[in-house]
Amino acid sequence: MLDKGRTTTVTVLDEAPATAQVPAPQEPQVDFDTDPSRYRHWRYEVEGETAWVYLDVAEDGGLVPGYELKLNSYDLGVDIELYDLTQRLRFSHPEVRSVVLTSGKDSNFCAGANIRMLAQSSHSWKVNFCKFTNETRNGIEDMTAHSGQTWVAALNGTAAGGGYEMALACETILLVNDRSSAVALPEVPLLGVLPGTGGLTRVTDKRHVRKDRADIFATKSEGFQGPKAVEWKLVDETVSRKQWDATVRERAAEAAASSSRPTGATGIALPPLQREVTEDAIRYPNVRCEIDRDARTATITVLGPEAGTVPESLERIHALGADFWPLAMTRELDDLILRLRTNELEIGTWLVKTRGSIEGALAFERVIAEHSASDWLVNEIRHYFKRTLKRLDVTSRSLIALIEPGSCFAGALLELALACDRQYMLEGTFEDADEEQDPAQLVLTASNFGAFPMGNGLTRLQSRFWGDDETLAALEPGTRLTGAQAEEAGLVTDAPDDIDYEDEIRILLEERASLSPDALTGMEANHRFVGPETMETRIFGRLTAWQNWIFIRPNASGAEGALRRYGTGRKADFDRKRV
């Protein structure tokens, strides 16, 4: 029976009816909660050591009205499910050693981000969408690298734009050789924007495609079919339909063979988060957030573990599962970052605090250090916290750490402060506090020297003291510092005492709130990532920055720009000046 119309083409990104003339609907408050029983766009089946992940997008399942998700194209809602799916594979399926990413449709693999969604979206929505999808692609690479779950892209049809970028995040790419299916990055020729979910970067930096060939590929809307794609290293292998299933299984088995995952392990459940949301607050058991809309600040407080609650054995950690404090806290913090980033655009400054027992935090720290090399779950938790810190690193908000009595910035939690743009620590105590206080302390542990690298491959301490090896060398694990000592060591920006502290912070925040949000975003992103470039920094720095510039240029998003004109049947009218 017939399955395609005559106008179906390889390179088209999306074929939904035009609604570009209709004003964009109100962008909704986004919720990141989901679970496999609620997925509309994905399904996965675990078969032995391999998870088979099928992209099967529901056309009418868009997160925002105004577009249909044709040809397996995606929007933020589709990617939220993908993120959830990756987390479940990590935590609930320790038996999985390789992951096959493929399409549940007969006609194609994936046409990439939905163009009408992009065309109707506000700038901030596009940017947040791209950031989140980039983080999920990076997370997939992190799974291959550190979780013993290697991803294999089985492109059973054409993968265009974001579809191919999804494949690029996998370790191995197979493309069916049926003389029709192709891989393509048609963004430049068709839409006047970039393949901004790592596409440009991974083609050269990961797959080592020569720059002249990369140039041809990224300007050739129809892309390349199997044999040529192999020759140019765009895919690893092209396989006939007859050999397809067997070969994909073989590659999945090979990928599984090198995995570090244990056999016979039992996963843990990831139950829904407990979250209380009010007008100006979001509260979880281990993380609190209070929003001051007049000051445009959010105060995020991470609650440390109670002293004496550290589990005595690995068995107990597994039994606690999602209730194990480091995991519970990380899930909540991750969710909070995503919600604030997406839903609270005007809250431009985040104040980061901790509250709890330093000894408690250190006790947990020791358990993690002891088992992270040998236990899959503890390893997962460490990498999850690493990725959550990376989310902070690329968050376009001013981040200010406030280190006060009763805080527990020790080891891993100290990374929260080091991720911030500035750190203020109270020297001594608040004189008029209700209860007696001990002065705040910072505690350096081994965690600060390599457990949680940034996207640039450096620790936050190495980034902080880039080019100042002497100061860095003076820091040692196990050191505890008060305000004055921390200031002396260069670990905090300033350590005012009780007399000046509140005024300093108030003036700082008022001044910050008066500055241009765009300039601040650019400035902070520059300061946070010093030193060497990596694929990750190139994606978030170069690619994303250029993409975001292109997004606001009239050539893309003006009324006559390529993105807005796409799907109207009219051609873009470019301003031809190169700038």
Partner 1 sequence: MTSARPKIDFDAKIPNNVDLASDRKLQRALERWQPNFLDWWGDMGPAVDTKDVYLRTAVDVGREGWAHFDHVPMNEYRWGVFLSEHDPDRKIAFGEHKGEPVWQEVPGEYRADLQRLIVIQGDTEPASVEQQRFLGATAPSLYDMRNLFQVNVEEGRHLWAMVYLLHAYFGRAGREEADQLLARNSGSDESPRILGAFNEETPDWLSFYMFTYFTDRDGKYQLGTLKESGFDPLSRTCEFMLKEEAHHMFVGTTGIDRVVTRTAQLMNEHDSEDVAGAGGIPLDMIQKYINFHYTVSLDLFGNESSTNAANYFTAGLKGRWQEERRKDDHVLTDDAGAVDAVREGRITTTEVPALLALNQDLRSEYMGDCSNGLKRWNRILEKHGIDRRLSLPHVGFNRHVGAFSDAHITPEGRVVSEAEWKAQESRWLPTEVDKTHVRGLMHPVLEPGKIASWIAPPNNGINDKPVDYEYVHFN
489: exposed, middle or buried (C-beta count within 10 Å: 0-12, 13-18, 19+)? Answer: middle
Q: Tell me the closest approach of the beta carbon of residue 553 to partner 1, in angstroms.
A: 20
Q: Tell me the closest approach of the beta carbon of residue 10 to partner 1, in angstroms.
A: 7
CA atoms 431, 434, 438, 443: torsion sign: negative
326: exposed, middle or buried (C-beta count within 10 Å: 0-12, 13-18, 19+)? Answer: buried
Q: Tell me the closest approach of the beta carbon of residue 2 to partner 1, in angstroms.
A: 4
Nearer to partner 1, 6 or 208 (CB): 6
Q: Tell me the closest approach of the beta carbon of residue 493 to partner 1, in angstroms.
A: 53
Nearer to partner 1, 185 or 402 (CB): 185
CA distance 205 to 209: 8
CA distance 98 to 62: 29
175 strand-pairing partners: 155, 238
Measured CA to CA in angstroms, residue 88 lies from 45, 92, 94, 311 at distances of: 12, 5, 10, 23
Nearer to partner 1, 2 or 373 (CB): 2
Nearest Cα to Cα of residue 178 among 215, 227, 133: 227
Q: Tell me the closest approach of the beta carbon of residue 177 to partner 1, in angstroms.
A: 7
Q: What is the residue whose two structure tokens read 């399926």?
A: 93
Q: Tell me the closest approach of the beta carbon of residue 408 to partner 1, in angstroms.
A: 56
Nearer to partner 1, 179 or 542 (CB): 179
Nearer to partner 1, 60 or 431 (CB): 60
Nearer to partner 1, 242 or 578 (CB): 242
Written as six digits, the tokens of 344 are 């609270």
Nearest Cα to Cα of residue 328 among 275, 375, 292: 275
Q: Tell me the closest approach of the beta carbon of residue 199 to partner 1, in angstroms.
A: 18
* Contacts with partner 1, residue ranges (CB under 8 A): 1-12, 14-15, 17-18, 21, 177-180, 189, 220-222, 225, 240-242, 566-571
Nearest Cα to Cα of residue 115 among 504, 428, 560, 563: 563
Residue count of the chain: 579
Written as six digits, the tokens of 210 are 């020569």
Nearer to partner 1, 241 or 527 (CB): 241
Q: Tell me the closest approach of the beta carbon of residue 501 to partner 1, in angstroms.
A: 60
Nearer to partner 1, 180 or 274 (CB): 180
Written as six digits, the tokens of 250 are 């073989």
Written as six digits, the tokens of 418 are 């080091």
Q: Which helix (H) or strand (E) holds 100?
A: strand 98-103
Q: Tell me the closest approach of the beta carbon of residue 322 to partner 1, in angstroms.
A: 40
Residue-wise DSSP of 278-332:
ETTEEE-SSEEEEEETTTTEEEEEEEPPPTT---SSHHHHHHHGGGSHHHHHHHH
Q: Tell me the closest approach of the beta carbon of residue 24 to partner 1, in angstroms.
A: 18
549 contact partners, CB below 8 Å, separation of at least 6: none
Q: Tell me the closest approach of the beta carbon of residue 551 to partner 1, in angstroms.
A: 21
Nearer to partner 1, 3 or 312 (CB): 3
DSSP state of 144: I
Nearer to partner 1, 424 or 566 (CB): 566
CA distance 67 to 567: 12
CA distance 548 to 46: 38
CA distance 119 to 558: 10
Q: Tell me the closest approach of the beta carbon of residue 115 to partner 1, in angstroms.
A: 9
Nearer to partner 1, 60 or 470 (CB): 60
What backbone phi and psi angles, to 5 degrees, belong to 479? -75, 135
Nearest Cα to Cα of residue 337 among 272, 390, 403, 383: 390
CB 468 within 8 A of CB 542: no
Nearest Cα to Cα of residue 385 among 201, 186, 146, 220: 146
Nearer to partner 1, 41 or 88 (CB): 41
Nearer to partner 1, 188 or 492 (CB): 188
Q: Tell me the closest approach of the beta carbon of residue 5 to partner 1, in angstroms.
A: 3
Strand (E) positions, 367-438?
A: 398-403, 409-410, 422-425
Max Cα-Cα span within the chain = 81
